[in-house]
Amino acid sequence: MEQTATLLVCCPDRKGLVAALAQVLYGHGANILDADQHTDPVAGQFFQRIKFDLSELHTDRTSLETAISEVAARFSMDWRITNGHRRSKTAIFVSKYDHCLYDLLLRQRGRELSTEIPMIISNHPDLEPVAQQFGIPFHHLPITKETKRAQENKALELLREADVDLVVLARYMQILTDDFLKSYEGQVINIHHSFLPAFMGSKPYHRAFERGVKLIGATAHYATAELDDGPIIEQDVVRCSHSDSVEDLVRKGRDLEKVVLARAVRLHLDDRILVYDNKTVVFS
C-alpha cells in the first residue's frame, strides 16, 4: 500500500483520454496495476479509476502530479489522487441502534476496512459501553431544537482536531444541517432503511408493511441537504411476504443495513466512487 496510488478522473468524453493518462504515468515510471473505465453516452462523460505502483518512479510524486494536472487541464478533467501510504480516519455517528455500529467496529478490527476510527459521536449516551469495549473515545452531544447548531459546531471541532476524512451515519437519528454537510461535502455516508427512492423519511418499515410490498431494502448514500436524496452508493433487498409482521421486516432489514453500509464504506475508502449529477459511478 505504501508504494501505490489511485487516480480518479471525470471529464467530457473524447478520443485520446486513456492513452494520455497511460502515457504520463508510464513516462514517470509508474506501473499501472489496475484500470477501469466507464463512458456515459447520454451525459457524454468519461470516468476512469487507475491504481498504480510508485516503487520505480523516475521522478518524485510532486512532478508526477504536476504532469497529471497538465493533462487534466488539456482535457478539462476533474481529478483526484490518493496515496496508499495515508491511512484515512473515519468518525461514526450513532443514536441508540447498535447493529451497524458493532458491524463496522468488528470489520475495522478485522482489517476489512482500511481506516482508523478515532471517535464515536452520539446524541444519546446508550452506546458508550460499546465504544469502551473497543477502546474508542465516545462523545455524547445531546441535541434539542435549541442546541442543535451549537452541538454540531462541537462535533465539527472534534472532527477537525482529529483530522477526520469520512463521517458515517450508522443509524444516526438526526438530520444534519446544510452547514455541517457543506463542511464535509461528499464525505458523509448515511444508511437508510429502505430501497430508495421508495419510502423516504421516517418509519419506512411500517410504511412498507402498510403497502404490502414483497421486497424491502436498504440504501447507503452520500448525505446531502435534500433528505434521503443524495447519490446512491450501494443497495440490497430481501424478500418478504404477507405473513411478515412489522417486527419481521425490521429484523430482516437490519441484516441488510449492516451489509449495505459496510460495502459502501469500503468502496469509499478504496477510492472506487465518482459522483456526478447526483449519481455515482462505482468501480468494482
Indicate which residues carry an active-site annotation: 228
Long-range pairs, 132-138, Cβ under 8 A, ≥24: 134/105, 134/109, 136/105
CA-CA distances (angstroms) from residue 175 to 44, 58, 62, 184, 235?
34, 49, 40, 14, 21
Sole residue written with cell 421486516: 249
Note whether 107 and 113 are within 8 A (CB).
Answer: yes
Beta-carbon contacts of 7 under 8 Å, excluding residues fewer than 6 positions away, are: 21, 25, 48, 49, 50, 51, 52, 68, 79, 80, 81
Distance, CA of 251 to CA of 79 (rounded, Å): 41
Give the CB-side neighbour count of residue 102, counting CA atoms within 13 A.
9
Q: 3-state SS of the chain: helix, strand, coil percent to 5? A: 35, 30, 35
User: What is the rounded distance in angstroms from the CA atom of residue 214 to the CA atom of residue 239?
Assistant: 6
